[in-house]
A and B are shown apart, each in its own frame.
Chain A
């Protein structure tokens, strides 16, 4: 059974640019969550999607957005990149029942220069 796949693994962007990250969940998983991980702030929840609908959102500015497709694959977009957006972006997928186990991908390392 394939795990959660995130692409690309590494990305370098310039301030002011925008970036799109992709996440393919485990087959059969319909919920996809996104997290930002930095040394200073730890793991912070960005948003969660189920059936192409955003159900939860963390405390991030509107520059951070996402979407989910009918095949459960998800993308997140960050516009007008800032240096502080440099982080490891993690995606997790799960089946949708009460408090089910979430499986993480290896993440996308974004560096903003």
Chain B
């Protein structure tokens, strides 16, 4: 089955700095890569996703890059703010079903 590795497990940055979270996946057939943000006491919320036919996608301060050859993808958050503090999960999936495999999560702390 699919295996998704995520690094780092914790990340502290100063407000205004950038944060980068990296993930690798094992199943070359995976073609959908969502990123979720989970705040305390809440369910994961989709913040950005990328499909295998695209190398990069941006949404305001958030961007995701995908390297299919190397089987890795990354989340970039620029100009971090305290409200960005949360746990971030990467994930990989293939096909039309919702069997998504999640990474182990990155706890991001933005220091004011």
Contact = CB atoms under 8 A, between A and B. Distances in A.
A106 interface: yes
A35 B53 CA distance: 28
Q: On chain B, which size bracket covers the interface?
A: 20 to 34
A101 B49 contact: yes
Contact of B97 (A35, A55, A103, A104): A55
A92 B42 contact: no
A102 B36 CA distance: 10
B99 A45 contact: yes
Classify the interface of chain A: helix, strand, loop or mixed. strand
25 contacts: A4-B43, A31-B98, A33-B98, A33-B99, A35-B102, A42-B89, A42-B102, A45-B99, A48-B97, A48-B98, A55-B97, A58-B99, A92-B43, A94-B98, A98-B96, A99-B31, A99-B32, A99-B51, A101-B46, A101-B49, A102-B34, A104-B36, A104-B45, A105-B43, A107-B43
Interface of A: 4, 31, 33, 35, 42-45, 48, 55-56, 58, 90, 92, 94, 96-99, 101-107
